[in-house]
Structure 1
Amino acid sequence: MKLKTIRARYFPPAIILEFLDPVLGEVKYREVDVASAFKNASSVDAITTQILKQEHLSQSRFTHVHGLLSRMFEKLNSYSDQTTTYSFEKEIATHSMPMTNCAFNKSGDKFVTGSYDRTCKLFNTETGKELRSFVGHQNVVYGLAFNNPFGDKVITGSFDKTAKLWSVETAQCWHTFRGHSAEIVCLSFDSTSNVIATGGMDNHCVLWDVRSGNEISKLRGHSSEVISLEFSNTGDLLATGSFDSTVNIWDFRGAKNLHSCIGHRSEITAMHFNFTGDKIVSSSMDGTAKLWNTTTGKCEYTFSGHSDEVLDLAINPSGNRVVTVSADCTARVYDLESYKCVHILKGHENEISKVAFNSHGDRVLTASRDHTSKIWSATTGACLQSLDGHSDDVFSCAFSYMDDKILTGSKDNTVRLYGLKSQTAT
């Protein structure tokens, strides 16, 4: 295989080698973990030399890899020496009708929003200026995603039963994907950005080829609406969650249903892989979350404790903690190794509908129907900051990849942007 590029991933720390398979024409990745080397305080020179030797890279790659590691080391060290708060930067009225969703690109310099006005819009994070309007859907634009880490494409899914692939640079629609017989409510790119998965109210998940726009396969196995889906970081698995109370695990390249994870007593609300792809955590309207083994499809543990529906969950980047949020107005942080509830996050005055970890895994961000978002310490469980200002339910919240921005979306039809304000700890 031919090496195309070498890039850095800051959280968890790794060097990513991107290869092109000349036979299959597919892009493949190999990750070189550098977290332990940083923890052991190895020099950047030593780590670079070790990577070149381990991966059989030529000495001509030394300067590039050394530069990636130096910037990574600087970023990780600077964060650990600081206490962080976020200051309000701007509020943006995005659409003429209610907003449905919003998301950052990886660099955090752009974000997209979807709306009942049938459009998706692209904004500059720094200025708040609208850069592009993606027009073409005939009904509500509900699902949207960048092809991170590249960020040159956006996929949108609509109640008009189609998905569309757009150019970030020109707003040109490259493909319209037709194959669902009902509304599309969830979607994602795979880790190579060569495959798109869409899930719909027709009980199906459909896989699409990004280059040709053709349907690859239709995954049938659920008996009710598919409302959540995710590719594993390892690039071989796809998970789908449904209102039929099950999670299906697929070998998506072979279109094979490997496991149907049965155990929840009500609709699935969210589910995510851990970083290594060997576990999935799902949440449900039955008030629980469950940990599944992706190799066996068996439930390893049921996390209980919420007194109402569990509406969302997030797993930290290292894969050892999960946070669940509920209509009972609380969030709970669980250790995925001991299964213990280590923190109960109390402070919201209405149901919490969305949650996210930051890239470092030490902060939790929640969005609530009480019109606020809150930032919590994942280490102590303390509420560090309340982000006020919206006049209606907050239904979306996200950290940028570098953790220097926060984006919140509300039923008041605005997004609010917050920027990192760092102070050296004393």
Structure 2
Amino acid sequence: VRLIRLFYCCAGIFLDYEKGGQLRTKSIDLLNLTPETDVNELLSDIRAAEPLITSSCVEQVKVLICKLQEKVSQKDDRKFYLFRALQAHILPLTNVAFNKSGSSFITGSYDRTCKIWDTASGEELHTLEGHRNVVYAIGSCALDHSCPESFRMVCLAFNPQSTLVATGSMDTMAKLWDVESGKEMSTLAGHFAEIISLSFNTTGDRLVTGSFDHTAILWDVSTGSKVHVLTGHRGEISCVQFNWDCSLIVTASLDKTCKVWDADSGQCLATLLGHNDEVLDVCFNYTGQLIATASADGTSRVFSTETFQCLCQLEGHKGEISKVCFNPQGSRVLTASVDKAARVWCVNTGVCLQVLEGHSDEIFSCAFNYEGDTIITGSKDNTCRIWH
């Protein structure tokens, strides 16, 4: 084993090892780890099932499991306060997204640009230009498990080499960019209408795009070729996302439904019902056990990926909800609304824990950072706000 990496947000350990002269990666799922788990017993089970865990690295693995257990044990009773407001673009923002280390974030705008920002200082690092129309969708990806500290996807330690940012636009194109240079690397053409959502899988070799042409397309990142075209929605697709283990894709649509797809076969597994108006956003939690939706009916819903049934409904916003996301621990849902507020909710009870106010116009996007201790919101008032 050359490198052992710990993933907090998705509860697991990744082993980087060499076989046949090639660097390979294997994951160990720790999604069932709790504060009560006996670490020594768990470690014994892992060693019995995984020959890569030898006596030379067993102590390192134990330390990482203990760190993860400590993280799982942390209470989620924090409140968020405004840290900084940035005049980000000359026109309203459409989307915001953190890199997974939380050191930087990206904003997309009606001014046809994306900007990369330093979270701590609020300094603008890059402006990405090239789209001919509004930029709606943004995402970050690390390829070949090698990315720089300044723009990592989910890992805590990598061999610094290269990263990509993907953007989707109303010009029907998706583009891949190099973060360090800000240069455009490639263009993915195949949709016949606007692209307003996209998502990388966790291994970085697949990208899914959602379009107003009622379809989602799964792409091979290295070749730029189509893998699957997902058809079945009767309205425009508003959001697409992979689950953590890359086995599922979820799509949200203006037809008031969401659909869950098998990422390997491209087959539809389930349709999520219940909203009375267009579904504008959807996301998995980091374990892939829950799906949260955001709708123009002013509510958010949480579904089980085991039964595909609704577990709770989040009510309180005074207008349509444009964005929804889970915190990394999976205990909180964050929603952004046209009522100029963002709300933090308890997943288990459906109770609203905090209302984030201050924007002077509709909030289009929101996101948690990797640690779950920072929130960014992006608004029609041309600003983004950082909350700690």
Smaller-chain TM-score range? 0.7 to 0.9
For 2:97, the equivalent position in structure 1 comes to 103
Structure 1 residue 321 corresponds to structure 2 residue 313: no
For 1:174, the equivalent position in structure 2 comes to none
- Which moves more between the two structures, 246-255 or 310-319? 246-255
Instruction: Write the distance in 1 (CA, Å) between the matches of 2:18 and 2:165.
Output: 19
For 1:351, the equivalent position in structure 2 comes to 320
* Letter of the structure 1 residue corresponding to residue 28 of structure 2: V
Taking every aligned residue pair, what percent have the same amino acid on both sides?
37
Alignment RMSD = 3.4
Instruction: Write the distance in 1 (CA, Å) between the matches of 2:278 and 2:150.
Output: 37
Structure 1 residue 123 corresponds to structure 2 residue 107: no
TM-score by length of 1: 0.75
Structure 1 residue 88 corresponds to structure 2 residue 57: no
| Conserved 8 A contact 2:337-2:364 | yes
Instruction: Write the distance in 2 (CA, Å) between the matches of 1:271 and 1:7.
Output: 27
| Conserved 8 A contact 1:317-1:359 | yes
Instruction: Specify the SS of the correspondent of 1:317.
Output: coil
For 1:173, the equivalent position in structure 2 comes to none
For 1:230, the equivalent position in structure 2 comes to 199
| Conserved 8 A contact 1:229-1:241 | yes
State the shift of 1:256 in Å: 5.0
After superposition, the Cα gap between the structure-2 partners of 1:264 and 1:118, relative to the gap in structure 1 and judged at 3 Å, is closer
State the shift of 1:413 in Å: 3.0
| Conserved 8 A contact 1:88-1:416 | no
State the shift of 1:31 in Å: 1.0
User: Residues 29-48 of structure 1 correspond to what in structure 2 (within 5 A)?
Assistant: 29-36=25-32, 38=34, 41-43=37-39, 45-48=40-43
* Structure 2, gaps ≥5 residues long: 154-160
* Structure 1, gaps ≥5 residues long: 156-191, 420-426
For 1:152, the equivalent position in structure 2 comes to 150
* Letter of the structure 2 residue corresponding to residue 152 of structure 1: S
Structure 1 residue 275 corresponds to structure 2 residue 270: no
* Letter of the structure 2 residue corresponding to residue 418 of structure 1: W
After superposition, the Cα gap between the structure-2 partners of 1:272 and 1:147, relative to the gap in structure 1 and judged at 3 Å, is closer
State the shift of 1:258 in Å: 3.8
For 1:365, the equivalent position in structure 2 comes to 334
Instruction: Write the distance in 2 (CA, Å) between the matches of 1:241 and 1:7.
Output: 31
State the shift of 1:292 in Å: 1.7
Larger radius of gyration: 1
After superposition, the Cα gap between the structure-2 partners of 1:113 and 1:94, relative to the gap in structure 1 and judged at 3 Å, is farther
For 1:5, the equivalent position in structure 2 comes to 3
Residue 375 of structure 1 is aligned with which of 316, 327, 344?
A: 344
State the shift of 1:241 in Å: 1.5
For 1:72, the equivalent position in structure 2 comes to 68
User: Residues 277-426 of structure 1 correspond to what in structure 2 (within 5 A)?
Assistant: 277-419=246-388
Instruction: Write the distance in 1 (CA, Å) between the matches of 2:265 and 2:349.
Output: 34
Instruction: Write the distance in 1 (CA, Å) between the matches of 2:298 and 2:289.
Output: 24
| Conserved 8 A contact 1:144-1:154 | no
- Which moves more between the two structures, 136-145 or 97-106? 136-145
| Conserved 8 A contact 1:269-1:285 | yes
After superposition, the Cα gap between the structure-2 partners of 1:323 and 1:211, relative to the gap in structure 1 and judged at 3 Å, is closer
After superposition, the Cα gap between the structure-2 partners of 1:340 and 1:124, relative to the gap in structure 1 and judged at 3 Å, is closer
* Letter of the structure 1 residue corresponding to residue 122 of structure 2: E
State the shift of 1:283 in Å: 0.7
Count of residues in Structure 1 that have an aligned counterpart in Structure 2 = 371
After superposition, the Cα gap between the structure-2 partners of 1:196 and 1:396, relative to the gap in structure 1 and judged at 3 Å, is closer
* Letter of the structure 2 residue corresponding to residue 134 of structure 1: H
After superposition, the Cα gap between the structure-2 partners of 1:409 and 1:240, relative to the gap in structure 1 and judged at 3 Å, is closer
TM-score by length of 2: 0.82
| Conserved 8 A contact 1:95-1:117 | no
After superposition, the Cα gap between the structure-2 partners of 1:145 and 1:259, relative to the gap in structure 1 and judged at 3 Å, is closer
State the shift of 1:249 in Å: 2.9
Q: Which has the bigger relative contact order, CA under 8 A and spacing at least 6? A: 2
| Conserved 8 A contact 2:283-2:325 | yes
Instruction: Specify the SS of the correspondent of 1:85.
Output: coil
Instruction: Specify the SS of the correspondent of 1:41.
Output: coil
Instruction: Specify the SS of the correspondent of 2:78.
Output: strand
State the shift of 1:28 in Å: 4.2
After superposition, the Cα gap between the structure-2 partners of 1:28 and 1:373, relative to the gap in structure 1 and judged at 3 Å, is farther
